[in-house]
Structure 1
Amino acid sequence: MTLIAFDTSTPVMTATVCGAGTVQAEGPAQRELLPALERLLSQRGLGFGDVSAIGVGTGPGSFTSLRIGIATARGLVAAHGAELRPLSSLWALAQNIEAPRGLAVFDARRDEVFAALYEGGRAVFGPWVGAPAELPESCAGAVAAGDGSVRFRELLERIGIEIPPDEDPVHRIQGQALCRLAESADAVAPEAVLPEYLRSPDVT
């Protein structure tokens, strides 16, 4: 089975052909996503017609990028007949955290974060959006990852949250994590895969 997985919820897109390689790229998802997947598949002598299942991150995250990622996944399913498997972007990020309690934190702009606290393989808080200072006391003592934890490091550390160095790859969703989740995720109908926004769009 050839499985591909990708996430466009954050400014750093992650795309992977499971068992083959991963591309991480900063930039508009609509420009980077399909070429990245095509390159990874071609390196194995494969094309989209060889893909049997697609895992796609459903957020929370950027409105535009999430729509693009999910629309791309649906389009590939319609064109090639692969299964579609939705993945929580926060849970994918939390796979990086080697601690009993992991806090996945995305920068949500508006001085807010998207966050979820995981323990024992399940969410014990969130997914949630709000000001980082309003995170519950239960998050104290957790290890955090994500661009939101980097941006609000000083504030989060004051409330007892541990954060790895800014340059640590723990802060980016990794291809191996997407593959692990996609391998065990259930396939659903394409129309049932919806972006998880948690709030109304930013007004521009």
Structure 2
Amino acid sequence: MKILALETSTEFCSVALSLDGTVSGQEILAGRNHSEMILPMVQKFLAEAELALQQLDGIAFGAGPGSFTGLRIACGVAQGLAYATGLPVAAISTLEAVAQQTDAEKVIVALDARMGELYYAAYQKSASADWTIINPPALCLPQQAPAVSGNGWHGCGSGFDVYPDLSQLYREHIQQIHYELHPRAHEVAQLALPKFRDGACVDPAHAMPVYIRNKVALKENER
């Protein structure tokens, strides 16, 4: 199975290609230039693999949460390429893509959402090596992050770096913190593979970003 994956939810822009389960990817610190970089990266990857877009089995993208503009770019590009070829699309949680980078069994993902808030989720690996959601993706204040039970948890993401109180909140539960982890297309491709195999993908028209936050600016009287 051949899957193209896109991830643009942070300042990094990444593309990955899964060929029969073997994933290769590229990541560039794009800043705000995702829209200029993503399609040339896709073309480069397909050319190096000697594949035409029509030879793919599906396109996956990091659906969020994350940067509003970044999420729209990945979703829009995935939809455009899928419409042009009739391919199905898989929308993958950016938080789960972070969890996928660890070898841990229990993971708390916390990404800085700006405005003093976090994008948060907690996962536990099942016997089949899939991720079970313990606390669903949410937007919250660091001091109001949901509780977890037991120890041996791994903390992942920029939220632990930006908000030290979060580490204190989970001090009795966390075994290790991976501050540097962020969503990547490599893991988006890995997580998308079973969705395409099981037919759990969607028509491009139904592929949507997952924003979680409803607005990005506060009115003066809300500050």
Distance 1:49 1:174 in 2: 24
Q: Which amino acid aligns with 2:204?
A: P
Residue among 54, 60, 67 paired with 1:55: 60
Counterpart residue number, 1:21: 24
Equivalence for 1:4: 4
Moved more, 112-121 or 7-16: 7-16
Distance 1:62 1:3, change over 3 A: same
User: How far has the Cα of 1:33 moved from its partner?
Assistant: 1.2
Q: Which amino acid aligns with 1:122?
A: T
Q: Does 1:143 align with 2:154?
A: yes
Taking a change above 3 Å as real, the CA distance of residues 64 and 176 of structure 1, as seen in their structure-2 partners, is closer
Q: Hey, what's the Cα distance between the residues in 2 that align with 1:106 and 1:93? A: 9
Q: Verify the 8 A CA contact 1:29 1:65 in the aligned structure 2.
A: yes
RMSD: 2.0
Q: How does 1:84-103 map to 2 (within 5 A)?
A: 84-103=89-108
SS at match of 1:109: coil
- Pair 1:155-2:168 in alignment: no
Residue 192 (structure 1) aligned with residue 195 (structure 2): no
Paired amino acid for 1:201: K
Task: Kindly state the Cα deviation for residue 98 of structure 1 after the two structures are TM-superposed.
Answer: 2.1
Deviation at 1:61, TM superposition (A): 0.8
Counterpart of 1:68 in structure 2: which amino acid?
A: I
Aligned to 2:177: 164
- Is the CA contact 1:20–1:40 (under 8 Å) kept in the aligned structure 2? no
Give per-residue Cα distances to partners, 1:92-130, cap 9 Å, x unaligned.
111122222101121111011101000132111121101
2:216 — aligned with what? 202
Q: Is the alpha carbon distance of 1:174 and 1:7 closer, same or farther for their aligned partners in structure 2, counting shifts above 3 Å?
A: closer
- Alpha-carbon separation, structure 1, partners of 2:103 and 2:138: 22
Listed as ranges, the matches of 1:121-136 within 5 Å are: 121-136=131-146
Choose 44-53 or 126-135, whichever is displaced more. Answer: 44-53
Identity %: 26
Structure 2 counterpart of 1:49, one-letter code? Q
TM-score (ref. length: structure 1): 0.88
Unpaired runs of 5+ in structure 2?
Answer: 126-130, 219-223
Which stretch of the first structure deviates more once superposed, 136-145 or 100-109?
Answer: 136-145
Determine the C-alpha separation between the residues in 1 that align with 2:115 and 2:168. Answer: 21
Other-structure match for 1:74 = 79
Provide the aligned length of Structure 1 versus Structure 2. 200
- Secondary structure of 1:58 counterpart: strand
- Output one character per residue of 1:48-100: Cα deviation in whole Å (capped at 9) or x when no partner: 23222101111011111101110110000111222211111111111122222
- The residue that corresponds to 1:118 in the other structure is 123
CA distance in 2, matches of 1:197, 1:139: 27
Q: TM-score, normalised by structure 2?
A: 0.81
